[in-house]
Amino acid sequence: MILHAPRSRPGDWRSSRSKIRHGWLVPFVAADWCFDWAAYALSHWSFLDVLEYLGSFSILIAVIFYFSESGDRLKQKHYQAWQVINTAQGKGGSGGRIEALQELNRDGVPLVGVDVSGAFLQGIRLPEAKILRGNLNAVDARNSDFHKADFTTADLQWGNFRESNLSGANLRDADLSNADFCAANLSQAVLDGAKLDGADLGKTDLNGVKWQSIGSVKGTNLWQVRNPPEGFLEWAGQHGADTKPGHLGCE
C-alpha cells in the first residue's frame, strides 16, 4: 500500500531559476518545479488516502468472492468433464475422455456407471477410482493404472488391459469375459463372483489374489501366470481353464 506522506513546501521560482546555469535547461526545471508544487498540493489531499484505502478494500472483497465461489467453479469444471465423457459415448478414440476421467478422479468424484465402451484410454491413470457398474466393454486401456480401483459389477468384456496395474482392485461380480490381461498386475485383487470365461491372464501376476469365490473360468488362459496362489491352478483346471502350453495369447 502506498503511504501519502505530506511533502515539504517547494521553494519559489526565483530561487529555483537562479540555480540554472544553462538557458536550455529552463523549460525542464520549470516543469519539474510545477510538478513539485502539484505533488505538494496533492500530498495534503485526504481524498487520495481514501482512494488508496478503497483500492485495498476492493482487493480484499475480490479475494473473498473468489474463495466463496470456488465451489461453483469446481462444479462447473466437473460438469464440463462429464459433458466431454457423455458426448463421446459410444465413439472410438479418446475424445478428451482420458483427461476428463483423470480430473474427476483426482477430485474424488465417483465414476459410478460411467460408459466408456470402445474408447481408447491407453495409459490412463485412475488409482482408487470408483467405477462400480461401469461399462468398459471393448475398451483399450493398455499400460494403465487402476490400483485399488472398484469395478464391482462392471462390464470389462473384450477389454484390453495388457500390462496394466490392477493390484488391489475390486472386481467383485465383474464380467471379464474375453478380456486381455496379459502381463497385467492383479496381485491382491478381489475376484469374488467375477466371470473370467475366455479371458487371457497369461503372464499375469496373481500374487495374493482372492480367487476362492470366482464365478467362472471356462476357457480362461492361465499359461505362465506369475505367483499363482496355492491350489488355484488345480482348481481352475478342473473348472475349464487352460493351464497348459500351446495357448496363442500373450504373444
Residue 49: all three cell numbers together: 488516502
Question: Cα–Cα–Cα angle for 116, 173, 242, nearest 5°?
Answer: 95
Q: Which amino acid is at 227?
A: N
Rounded to the nearest angstrom, the gap between the alpha carbon of residue 118 and the centroid of all alpha carbons in its chain is 21
Q: How far apart are CA 146 and CA 139, in angstroms?
A: 14
Q: How far apart are CA 76 and CA 247, in angstroms?
A: 49
Q: Total structural domains in the chain?
A: 2
- On whether both 34 and 97 belong to a single domain, the answer is no
- Give me the pLDDT at residue 228, please: 96
Q: What is the tens place of the pLDDT at every residue in 182-202?
A: 999 999 999 999 999 999 999
Query: How high is the mean pLDDT of the chain?
Result: 84
- On whether both 122 and 236 belong to a single domain, the answer is yes
- On whether both 136 and 196 belong to a single domain, the answer is yes
- On whether both 134 and 232 belong to a single domain, the answer is yes
Q: How far apart, in Å, are the Cα atoms of 126 and each of 107, 120, 155?
A: 11, 14, 16
Q: What DSSP string describes 47-64? A: HHHHHHHHHHHHHHHHHH
Q: What is the tens place of the pLDDT at every residue in 109-153?
A: 999 999 999 999 999 999 999 999 999 999 999 999 999 999 999
Residue 237 and residue 217 in contact, taking contact as beta carbons nearer than 8 Å: no
pLDDT of 30 higher than 80: no
- On whether both 33 and 115 belong to a single domain, the answer is no
- Give me the pLDDT at residue 49, please: 60
Query: What is the domain extent for residue 148?
Result: 91-246
User: When comparing pLDDT for 169 and 49, which is higher?
Assistant: 169
Kindly state whether residue 81 falls inside one of the protein's structural domains: no
Threshold 0.75, pTM exceeds: no
